[in-house]
Amino acid sequence: MPTLSELTTALDALWPAGRAESWDAVGTVCGDPDAEVGTVLVAVDPVQAVADEAVRLGADLLLTHHPLYLRGTTTVGAHTFKGRVVHTLIKADTALHVAHTNADRADPGVSDALAGALDLRVLAPLVPDPDDPQGRRGLGRICELDTPLSLAAFAQHAAAHLPATAQGVRAAGDPDAMIRRVAVCGGSGDSLFEQVRAADVDAYLTADLRHHPASEAQERSPLALVDAAHWATEWPWCEQAAAQLDALSERHGWGLRTHVSRLVTDPWTAHAASGLHHDYEYPGAPN
Ligand SMILES: [Zn+2]
């Protein structure tokens, strides 16, 4: 069995901490570098339910995409919900390690996993890392569908291929517009509209799209938007990361047992579809 420090050295080769955004907080949150690691749980969010799952599994390491602490803290007391997570993990000898924006920009990265889950062919990063001579690392991915779909059908396709959430998938734009080229970005991607526009795609699939950025992007010129739950767009990375861990384990003869959490930690838990309102209509919709 590897020690935590041997394992995190290997993880740092997959997702170098130096490639994380300057505001990010990646790496080991808690854990003894000399402790042996036999079982790993991979999840999106280091929330209490996931910490409890890690303990139930007897995991020695919980690997998450989202940081527990993004800003500094003066307490890990169990009277705070984050401190409670730290206590739960430390009492069970479970380490916590985070790969966030360094995993977003990796090759393969979070958006490669998202594209894979959607059966999309990746062409290039949406925002390439200038220091990658191969041009494969960076934020988001520009992709192609093997068979073009209408926007409505593509949204259905995304809903069917991403893990189920209360939010489901919503789309903006002409439901009949044909979608061939798609940009995808796992997580909150509404800061990348300029790059999406430059990529000459028919649609952009991401999460957390807000009214004004979405409305302004639509007004400028037709661009179909597909908005999925934040957690659902990043969850495919957990399976990708677990497969990468399995490959490392194989190569080093570590005999790691890797698990992927299937707890839906998206905060939204219910969805009420609007009924038909005959008093309202979408612009351009047939009467
Ligand atoms: Zn995220």
Is 239 annotated among the ligand-binding residues? no
How many whole angstroms from 158 Cα to the centroid of ligand 1? 18
pLDDT score of 279: 81
Question: Tens digit of pLDDT for each residue in 86-142?
Answer: 999 999 999 999 999 999 999 999 999 999 999 999 999 999 999 999 999 999 999
- What is the SS3 string spanning 87-150? HHHHHCCCEEEECCHHHHCCCCCHHHHHHHHCCCEEEEEEEECCCCCCCCCEEEEEEEEEEEEE
- Looking at the domain 4-103+234-260, which fold is it? 3.40.1390
- What is the SS3 string spanning 148-165? EEEHHHHHHHHHHHCCCC
Pinpoint the residues of the chain covered by CATH 3.40.1390.30: 4-103+234-260, 105-228
Is 259 annotated among the ligand-binding residues? no
Q: How does DSSP assign 165-176, residue by residue?
A: -SS-EEEES-TT
Helix axes 48-57, 81-91, angle to 10 degrees: 10
How many whole angstroms from 188 Cα to the centroid of ligand 1? 7
How many whole angstroms from 238 Cα to the centroid of ligand 1? 12
Is 104 annotated among the ligand-binding residues? yes
pLDDT score of 150: 98
How many whole angstroms from 281 Cα to the centroid of ligand 1? 34
281's tokens: 């209509």
Q: What is the pTM of this model?
A: 0.96
- Between the alpha carbon of residue 125 and those of residues 39, 109, 182, 214, the distances in Å are 33, 10, 12, 21
- Using alpha carbons only, give the angle 264, 53, 159 rounded to the nearest 5 degrees: 15
pLDDT score of 285: 62
How many whole angstroms from 207 Cα to the centroid of ligand 1? 9
Mean pLDDT, 10 residues at a time, the chain of 287 residues:
97 97 97 98 98 98 98 96 98 98 98 98 97 95 98 98 97 96 97 95 97 90 94 98 98 97 96 82 69
Which residues surround the ion ligand 1 when the cut-off is CB under 5 Å? Answer: 187, 234
How many whole angstroms from 280 Cα to the centroid of ligand 1? 35
How many whole angstroms from 256 Cα to the centroid of ligand 1? 26
How many whole angstroms from 32 Cα to the centroid of ligand 1? 26
CATH (residue range 105-228): 3.40.1390.30
pLDDT score of 262: 97
How many whole angstroms from 248 Cα to the centroid of ligand 1? 25
How many whole angstroms from 211 Cα to the centroid of ligand 1? 19
**Cα–Cα distance for residue pair 86/89, rounded to 1 Å:** 5
pLDDT score of 287: 46
Give the chain's mean pLDDT: 96
